[in-house]
Amino acid sequence: MAVNGAQIVIDRLSHMYRPPHGKPVLAVDDVSLAVGEREFLALLGPSGCGKSTLLYLLGGFLPTETGSITVDGKPITGPGPDRGIVFQHFALFPWKTVRANVMYGLKRAGLPRDEQEKRAQAFIDLVGLHGFEESYPSQLSGGMKQRTAIARTLAIDPEILLMDEPFGALDAQTRSLMQTELLSIWERSPKTVIFVTHDVQEAVYLARRIAVMSARPGRIKAIIETNFDRRDPHLFKSKPFVDKVDEIWDLVRAEAIKAQGTRST
């Protein structure tokens, strides 16, 4: 599937989990999707619909068996520095400071020490953690841990940012602050972002396009564009925003009901 101007092209992708015991499970089925450079796309759908599986295939953590995924025309054969991933549960090294966590990927890349420190500081500042460079994860709030994880990923300068429910473990207030912070970071340091979430309002607020996935096996049910002024302090209460959330929630709810019915039979 050739798509003009697309950075990521997923073409008729399917993925089967084969557990050591029990039946194989078709997680993703015949998914085709094109993502433009510097686009912010959300993947939305009911639990178990294959959102995270699709993200791990994009990250190269799972092998592509049926169909294909290309980035800039080249097939994905494994993880690479062009794709950074941020998980829900921070994945920080507890024995390393904020600075050392952010420098980890730079050190592995073989950058000179002074360049590591300079780049790490720039991204620590970018995510608003100036003054916490020598703090350890146990001394940080959930939001600060996630900022550290984002800074560590951004520091290696990936072209593509893959985010697997990165704010799912945070309280509502911190989650709201982190959503605004992520948009600010994305505007200052433009990347292609693919953002997995269960939260419809979060998807509508953050993403420029939303791919709604069906109940398992995951297929693309609909792709919906959003066009809002994210700087509007009353955005969440505006009728167009509320209507868009309702429209997408109806799609997701229908699939969640299907998923529930499948699990109960």
For 206-244, what is each residue's pLDDT tens digit? 999 999 999 999 999 999 999 899 889 899 999 999 999
Residues 92-139 pLDDT 10s: 999 999 999 999 989 988 899 999 999 999 989 988 899 999 999 999
25 domain residue, yes or no: yes
Question: Are 257 and 230 found together in one domain?
Answer: yes
**DSSP category for residue 137:** G
Domain of residue 35, residue span: 1-82+175-265
263 band by pLDDT with thresholds 50, 70 and 90: low
Side chain identity at residue 108, one-letter code: R
Question: Are 12 and 63 found together in one domain?
Answer: yes
Contacts of 27 (CB under 8 A, 6+ apart): 15, 16, 17, 50, 53, 216, 217, 218
Q: How many folded domains does the chain comprise?
A: 2
Mean pLDDT for 138-146 is: 91
189 band by pLDDT with thresholds 50, 70 and 90: confident
| Predicted pLDDT of residue 239 | 95
Torsion of CA 228, 232, 233, 234, to 10 degrees: -60
33 domain residue, yes or no: yes
**Is this prediction's pTM over 0.85?**
yes
Question: Are 26 and 151 found together in one domain?
Answer: no
